[in-house]
Amino acid sequence: MITAWHQLRWYWRWPIKWAVVAATFFLICFPDPFLFARHLRHWQDPNAMINPDLPALAPWVEEVRGLINPESSPKKALKTVEKFVYKKVPYEWDWNTWGSADYLPTLAEVIEKGREDCDGQAVAAASILKSLGYKAELVTDFAHVWVKTDKGETMHPGKKTSIAATEKGFSINWNAVVDTLPKSLAWSVAPFPLGRELILLVIAWLMLLRPNVSWRWRLVCFWVVLSGLLFLRAGGHSFRDPNVALQWWGIAHLVAGAVTLFVLGRRGNRQSCCIEGGSLEASRAPASTP
């Protein structure tokens, strides 16, 4: 099968390979295409999910008002809202709530489900804070979503803001994006079902295989990539106390396994071409006379 696959020209083969990997990724991570489309629409304007005027939110706002001392500092008020939201909306992975790798919900969906991950909790907190007169918006470092207000930040703010959704549009801090990449990747990988990740890993490995690479090297590269996945999962197991060394080690294994398999395939392909070229020249050479 692998040999037949590589009979295709590279300009046909590689687009098909990428299409197979992409299709596998979306089928595994986002089984519901309609939910995924809604997720993308929501992220076009994440602050639109904040809805302080939703009738279902009114009881929560009144309850929070009773918990906040009018003479309290803004910092204490933000902390009170944070504790209240964590109690009302317990943390749960999107995969368990929505059957999707990620989903940014509306406030109505947060209240209806009664459980959410950090983005849903941030939507609820921002909505309450706006009802209390604060200016609130959502910010993220790709691994976590929290709330930024005119009086400070809440919902366990990250150290660096990668993207802030403001009234003028998205504000991107590229330095923060690079710095938080290992943490974001590990935090995305760690809670996701291992079985589904293994399916994606196997498909990506099959797409990199070439007929001129021995099975020994194929299995070695697969083991290196698999160990990278396991290191990433271990490094991102705890969001509050991540193991950065394991995260980078996992990324290094993933890259090393994929690059090694690719380079071995290219080298074997060049050697095959040289052998075939030498055989062709030998067949064309005139036969020597005795």
Q: What is the pLDDT of residue 177?
A: 64
Q: What is the pLDDT of residue 164?
A: 66
Q: What is the pLDDT of residue 104?
A: 95
What does pTM read for this prediction?
Answer: 0.79
User: pLDDT of 118-154, one tens digit each?
Assistant: 999 999 999 999 999 999 999 887 778 999 999 999 9
Which residue has tokens 């030998």? Answer: 282
Question: In b/e form, how buried is each residue of 2-30, taking b as 16+ CB within 10 angstroms?
Answer: eeeebeeeeeeeeeebeeebeebeeebbb
Q: What is the pLDDT of residue 253?
A: 94
Q: What is the pLDDT of residue 96?
A: 92
Residue 175 and residue 107: Cα distance in Å, rounded? 31
Q: What is the distance between the terminal CA atoms of the chain, rounded to a whole angstrom?
A: 46
Query: Which DSSP string corresponds to the chain?
Result: -HHHHTTS-HHHHHHHHHHHHHHHHHHHH-S-HHHHHHHHHHHHSGGGG--TT-GGGHHHHHHHHHHS-TTS-HHHHHHHHHHHHHHHS-B--HHHHHSSS-----HHHHHHH--B-HHHHHHHHHHHHHHTT--EEEEE-SS-EEEEETTEEESS--SS-SEEEETTEEEE-HHHHHHTHHHHHHHHHTTS-HHHHHHHHHHHHHHH--TTS-HHHHHHHHHHHHHHHHHHHHHTS-SSS--HHHHHHHHHHHHHHHHHHHHHHHHHHHHHHHHHHHHHHHHHSPPPP-
Residue 265 · residue 216 · CB < 8 Å: no
User: pLDDT of 223-253, one tens digit each?
Assistant: 999 999 999 888 877 666 778 888 889 999 9
Residue 45 and residue 38: Cα distance in Å, rounded? 12
* CA diameter of the chain: 112
Q: What is the pLDDT of residue 120?
A: 96
31-179 in CATH: which number?
A: 3.10.620
Structure tokens at 120: 């849903």
Structure tokens at 181: 């990449």
Rg (CA), the chain: 26
| Residues with pLDDT less than 70, the chain | 1, 159-180, 238-240, 268-290
Closest CA to 94 of 81, 83, 103, 107: 103
Domain boundaries, the chain: 2-27+188-281, 31-179
